[in-house]
Copies of this chain bind each other. A is one copy, B any other.
Amino acid sequence: MPTEIERKFLTRDDSWRDGHILKKVRYRQGYLGSSPASSVRIRISDHDAFLNIKGVTIGASRAEYEYPIPENEAAELLEHLCDKPLIEKTRYYLEYQGHTWEIDVFEGDNDGLVVAEVELGSEDESFAMPPWAGKEVTEDARYYNSCLARSPFKDWGR
């Protein structure tokens, strides 16, 4: 089973923008419902579209399946069938001491939220913690994109 291992952190400030940004990609994505066991995501990026299935989280690992789909069908699925609000964000790919970090800067109903993820080869792989990385939220379901689609950041009542 393909498995994704990632750890997720809030950001302390914007100083990651001064780092080595490899690329940035804008994403629009939405969810076709979700069950306690899984979520089904439709995502359009600058150049392509994918359907993605994630299983329940067990620690930081979860089963993940990804299939390319035609971009026009992805746009229809987002508009007509996915839960609203859609998730809109720009993802910055950043290198920091041998690991690639993904910094998601959210827009729309999740404007103001910035989350940094690092993907690992195994759950106990060590990595250098960047100075701009703050509190770890790997286990906090509120930060799952599937949860942000139902309960967006603007409604958190901080």
Query: Given B33, B63, B73, which contacts A40 in the complex, CB threshold below 8 Å?
Result: B33
A81 within 8 A of B: yes
Q: CB distance A1 to B33 under 8 Å?
A: no
What are some 26 contacts across the A-B interface (CB < 8 A)? A1-B76, A1-B80, A32-B32, A32-B35, A32-B37, A32-B38, A33-B34, A33-B35, A33-B37, A33-B38, A33-B40, A34-B35, A35-B83, A37-B80, A37-B81, A37-B82, A51-B51, A51-B67, A53-B77, A53-B81, A55-B80, A63-B76, A63-B80, A65-B69, A65-B73, A67-B67
What are the residues of chain B within 8 A of A81 when measuring CB–CB? 37-38, 53, 55, 63
Residue-wise interface mask of A (29-73) relative to B, using a CB-CB cutoff of 8 A (1 in contact, 0 not) = 000111101111000000000010101000000010101010001
Query: Given B37, B53, B77, B82, which contacts A65 in the complex, CB threshold below 8 Å?
Result: B77
Interface size classification for chain A: 20 to 34
State the CA gap A139–B63 with chains docked (Å): 36
State the CA gap A82–B77 with chains docked (Å): 20
Which A-B residue pairs are the 4 nearest by beta carbons? A33-B35, A38-B81, A40-B40, A33-B33
Chain B residue at minimal CB-CB distance from A33 = B35
Chain B residue at minimal CB-CB distance from A65 = B73
Residue-wise interface mask of A (75-88) relative to B, using a CB-CB cutoff of 8 A (1 in contact, 0 not) = 01100111100000
What are the residues of chain B within 8 A of A37 when measuring CB–CB? 32-33, 80-83
State the CA gap A80–B63 with chains docked (Å): 10
State the CA gap A76–B64 with chains docked (Å): 11
